[in-house]
Amino acid sequence: MKYTCTQYREEMVLLGLKRRLSEPALNTEERKRIEKEIKKLEAQMGMD
């Protein structure tokens, strides 16, 4: 299987979102938004 730039970008975005999710100062609304974005990206990547 070929590893594309798009796949790499998606992985880096996912990693960044997960890193932000681990920040203790994150408010509830922002945490929910990030979790939703993570789920959407994981589904797009076939990881759900």
Supply the pLDDT for residue 8: 95
In the chain, the largest separation of any two C-alpha atoms, in whole Å, equals 40
Number of domains present in the structure of the chain? 1
Average pLDDT estimate for 29-40: 97
Instruction: Give CA–CA dist 23/10, Å, rounded.
Output: 21
Predicted TM-score (pTM) of this structure:
0.83
Number of residues written out for the chain: 48
Tell me how far CA of residue 39 lies from CA of 1, 2, 36, 45, in angstroms. Answer: 24, 24, 5, 10
Range of the domain at 13: 5-44
Instruction: Give CA–CA dist 40/27, Å, rounded.
Output: 20
